[in-house]
């Protein structure tokens, strides 16, 4: 079993993307979902808390399906930043009104 | 599907993920499944492991409460909370009495010094006469605290393993899209195919259970892994978080007034509960701020499957008046979550459903084991003429040492309970040490054997012998042997011994099969060995 270095690095990179970057992304996506759901905040948190591991699992599967590693990392980081910014914006707008 | 994925098509990529995610931690998963499955009989195992516990007839809730109160008023002075488990069910007809002092703010379930059991008829403490043992509780807790590891770290590790398990299941469904066809396919004559078929059969037949048990396991971990979603949703504003989030967990809280007061008679409240509110069964009682003017007496009830979301009755602890009756879940979503957790724990289950849980759990164990064995078998055929990597031997050895070795270790845990000297210091710890030492030896053993079939055979034989020893040693050391337990129709104790005999016979049968195969393999490998 000769595992070439590039193949091994690919796997390590995908694992990091799935479990670390995916974790950050799911957290920001989770907050945004809570803020966007048209129900009381605590109820929204409960729903997101129920489905959050399913969402996480789907992200992990996607990371191991997508061909381009670059796309994996870029999508997850941009997604996290976007969800984070949108959430911060919504919270700020709420604090004004 | 025209798009090429990481490893070819979507299904191929998912097969890759299923294979490697499934394999990499399958031995820990197997450990979690075995100890967790035994957990469905934790109380029954407790009963077997504590043969000194007197058998008493169950008493009514009213009487239980009266006895508990008299104890708690003596030993629980100055406590913040009292707990009372009524004499009830599953072979434990004694009353549980527990109390917590203000300093006890560590992790859950960690107040071992602060409780005891009371004989329901005589009202006397029974713990002093009982051997020191971890019992079924220690065994079942291993499935989420992994015993030797720091608790907080173990939760996180178990959470990640469970997540990997869950991904393994979803990808498994993708891999076996012909799911109903698989249910009727079992080719016992083809070597590696048999293991794949067994793997498919077990997974498909118990799929709803496996998905439920894994996902609900994750829900237990959700606050450990994703607290930031809750905090972030309130903009990380501390006062709001402190104000809002605890509402989700609706734990009764009460502020002591600091004025001492005499508690009402708990058995009066019990009478009231029995007559007017007819609860479907009480899980436990809790007294908040006992001895204070603002004391609360709370009854937590089972409610169908979702016992975690069962109803709660809150009484004034001084006057005995019903203050409110409520459901502890905040909303529909948390009811769904707590139903999942209720299903995971299966506390509501009667004997039949409990056995179904047990069988489904064992199917999960076989699912994990057969998958890992298939991984080896599939490569065994291919690898004959190639360089076999160290990974292959490692997996093969761990398979033997875990899938059979762990069973021997658990048998050793039960035997240690009977054989370690009763007065021994740290007896409870040594029961567990015995288990893990045996497992350690059996993990090393396969690596010392060249012929792996021989290793399978030896381990199956050992496990079989150890399990068959259980009823024998039990008969030699206690009065709870089969002759007595069957004679007294004590099904909990008899059931334990009979299950041990059944397991022993099954492993003995497996050993015989392995013996034949071992001889075959030796004949096959001999000429090869001569060439080298």
Alpha helices in B207-256 (DSSP H): 207-220, 222-225, 227-233, 238-244, 246-249
Which residues 6+ apart lie within 8 Å of B440 measured at CB? none
Q: Which of B233, B383, B391 is the best residue to mutate to test the A interface, defined by the most A CB atoms within 10 Å of its own CB?
A: B233
DSSP state of B148: S
Which residue matches tokens 């289950």? B349
Q: Which of A43, A61, A87 sits opposite B333 (nearest CB)?
A: A43
DSSP state of B319: T
Residues 163-202 of B with CB under 8 A from A: 163, 166-167, 170-171
- For residue A32, the distance in angstroms to the closest alpha carbon of chain B comes to 8
pLDDT, tens only, B454-511: 999 999 999 999 999 999 999 999 988 888 888 888 888 999 999 999 999 999 999 9
User: Could you tell me how many helices (H) and strands (E) chain B has, helices first?
Assistant: 22, 7
CA distance B490 to B48: 11
Which two structure tokens, joined as six digits, stand for B83? 């707990």
- For residue A78, the distance in angstroms to the closest alpha carbon of chain B comes to 18
Mean pLDDT of chain A: 92
In the prediction, which pLDDT does A26 show?
97
CA distance B156 to B473: 39
Which residue matches tokens 């917590």? B100
- For residue B36, the distance in angstroms to the closest alpha carbon of chain A comes to 21
Which two structure tokens, joined as six digits, stand for B385? 């003429």
In the prediction, which pLDDT does B185 show?
61
Tell if the CB–CB gap between B166 and A14 is shorter than 8 Å.
Answer: no
DSSP state of B309: G
Instruction: Report the Cα–Cα distance between both ends of chain A, in Å, rounded.
Output: 63
Which two structure tokens, joined as six digits, stand for B276? 């007017």
Q: Identify the closest residue of chain A to B159 by CA–CA distance.
A: A53
Helix (H, G, I), strand (E, B) or coil at B286: strand
Tell me the whole-structure pTM to 2 decimals: 0.88
Q: Is B259 left (phi over 0), alpha (psi -120 to 50) or beta?
A: beta
CA distance B213 to B364: 10
CA distance B213 to B162: 10
Whether pLDDT at B192 is above 60: yes
Nearest-5° angle of CA B291, CA B247, CA B337? 115
Q: Between A47 and B187, where is the model more confident?
A: A47
Can you tell me the mean pLDDT for B420-438? 94
Residues 385-414 of B with CB under 8 A from A: 387, 389, 391-392
Q: Residue B527 — very low, low, confident or very high, per pLDDT cuts 50/70/90? A: very low
CA distance B306 to B362: 23
CA distance A44 to A33: 8
- Which among B83, B417, B472 is positioned nearest to B282, based on CA atoms? B83
Let me know: does B232 contact A87? Beta carbons within 8 Å: yes
Alpha helices in B400-490 (DSSP H): 405-419, 427-448, 452-477, 482-487
Determine which of B6-20, B192-206, B319-333, B334-348 has the lowest per-residue pLDDT on average.
B319-333
- For residue B55, the distance in angstroms to the closest alpha carbon of chain A comes to 42
The alpha carbon of A2 is separated from its chain's Cα centroid by a whole number of angstroms, namely 33
Share of chain A above pLDDT 70, in %: 96
Q: Residue B104 — very low, low, confident or very high, per pLDDT cuts 50/70/90? A: very low
A54 contacts in chain B (CB < 8 Å): 215
Tell if the CB–CB gap between A67 and B5 is shorter than 8 Å.
Answer: yes
Q: Residue A1 — very low, low, confident or very high, per pLDDT cuts 50/70/90? A: very low
Q: Which of B16, B166, B248 sits opposite A46 (nearest CB)?
A: B248
Can you point out the beta strands (E) in B302-378?
312-316, 322-326
Which two structure tokens, joined as six digits, stand for B270? 């019990």
Q: Identify the closest residue of chain A to B329 by CA–CA distance.
A: A46
Whether pLDDT at B434 is above 80: yes
- Which among B391, B389, B396, B366 is positioned nearest to B510, based on CA atoms? B366
Whether pLDDT at B2 is above 70: no
Helix (H, G, I), strand (E, B) or coil at B421: coil
pLDDT, tens only, B327-349: 767 788 888 888 888 889 888 78
Residues of A near B (Cβ–Cβ under 8 Å) read 1, 14, 19, 26-28, 30-31, 34-35, 40-50, 52-54, 56-57, 60-61, 64-67, 87, 91, 95
Q: Residue A3 — very low, low, confident or very high, per pLDDT cuts 50/70/90? A: low
Q: Residue B79 — very low, low, confident or very high, per pLDDT cuts 50/70/90? A: confident
Q: Which of A14, A34, A43 sits opposite B229 (nearest CB)?
A: A34
């Amino acid at each position: 079993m000769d595992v070439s270095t590039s193949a091994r690095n690919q796997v390590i990179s995908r694992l990091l993307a799935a479990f670390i970057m995916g974790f950050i992304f799911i957290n920001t996506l989770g907050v945004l979902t809570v803020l966007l759901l048209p129900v009381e905040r605590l109820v929204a948190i409960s729903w997101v808390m129920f489905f959050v591991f399913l969402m996480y699992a789907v992200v992990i599967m996607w990371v191991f399906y997508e061909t381009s590693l670059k796309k994996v990392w870029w999508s997850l980081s941009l997604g996290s930043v976007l969800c984070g910014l949108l959430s911060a914006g919504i919270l700020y707008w709420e604090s004004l009104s | 599907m025209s798009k090429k994925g990481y490893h070819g098509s979507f299904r191929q990529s998912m097969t890759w993920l299923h294979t490697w995610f499934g394999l990499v931690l399958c031995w820990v998963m197997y450990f979690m499944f075995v100890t967790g499955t035994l957990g469905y009989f934790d109380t029954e195992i407790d009963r077997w492991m504590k043969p000194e516990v007197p058998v008493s007839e169950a008493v009514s809730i009213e009487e239980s409460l009266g006895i508990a109160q008299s104890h708690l008023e003596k030993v629980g002075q100055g406590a913040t909370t009292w707990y009372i488990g009524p004499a009830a069910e599953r072979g434990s007809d004694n009353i549980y009495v527990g109390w917590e002092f203000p300093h006890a703010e560590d992790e859950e379930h960690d107040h071992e010094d602060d409780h005891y059991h009371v004989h329901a008829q005589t009202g006397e403490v029974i713990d002093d006469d009982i051997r020191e043992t971890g019992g079924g509780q220690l065994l079942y807790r291993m499935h989420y605290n992994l015993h030797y590891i720091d608790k907080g770290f173990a939760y996180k590790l178990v959470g990640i393993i469970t997540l990997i398990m869950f991904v393994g299941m979803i990808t498994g469904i993708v891999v076996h899209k012909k799911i109903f066809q698989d249910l009727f396919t079992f080719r016992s004559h083809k070597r590696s195919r048999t293991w794949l078929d067994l793997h498919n059969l077990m997974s498909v037949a118990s799929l709803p259970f496996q998905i439920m048990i894994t996902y609900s396991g994750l829900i237990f971990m959700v606050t450990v892994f994703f607290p930031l979603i809750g905090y972030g949703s309130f903009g990380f504003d501390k006062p709001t978080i402190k104000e809002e989030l605890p509402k989700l967990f609706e734990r009764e809280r009460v502020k002591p007034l600091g004025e001492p007061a005499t508690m009402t008679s708990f058995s009066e409240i019990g009478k009231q509960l029995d007559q007017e509110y007819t609860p479907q069964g009480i899980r436990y009682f809790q007294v908040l701020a006992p001895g204070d003017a603002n004391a609360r007496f709370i009854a937590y009830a089972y409610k169908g499957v979702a016992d975690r979301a069962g109803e709660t009755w809150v009484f004034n602890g001084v006057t005995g008046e019903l203050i409110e009756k409520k459901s502890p879940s905040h909303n529909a979503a948390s009811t769904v979550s707590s139903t999942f957790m209720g299903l995971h724990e299966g506390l509501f289950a009667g004997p039949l459903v409990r056995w179904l849980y047990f069988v489904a759990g064992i199917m999960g164990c076989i699912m994990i084991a057969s998958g890992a064995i298939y991984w080896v078998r599939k490569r065994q055929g291919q690898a004959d003429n190639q360089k076999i990597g160290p990974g292959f031997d490692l997996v093969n050895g761990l398979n033997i040492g875990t899938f059979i070795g762990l069973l021997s270790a658990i048998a050793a845990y039960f035997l240690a309970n009977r054989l370690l000297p009763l007065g021994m210091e740290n007896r409870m710890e040594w029961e567990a040490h015995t288990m893990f030492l045996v497992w350690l030896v059996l993990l090393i053993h396969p690596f010392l054997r060249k012929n792996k079939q021989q290793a399978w055979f030896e381990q199956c034989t050992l496990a079989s012998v150890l399990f068959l020893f259980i009823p024998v040693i039990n008969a030699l050391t206690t009065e709870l042997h089969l002759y007595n337990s069957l004679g007294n129709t004590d099904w909990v104790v008899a059931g334990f011994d009979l299950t041990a005999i059944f397991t022993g016979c099954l492993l003995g049968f497996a050993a015989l099969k392995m013996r034949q195969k071992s001889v075959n393999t030796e004949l096959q490998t001999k000429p090869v060995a001569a060439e080298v």
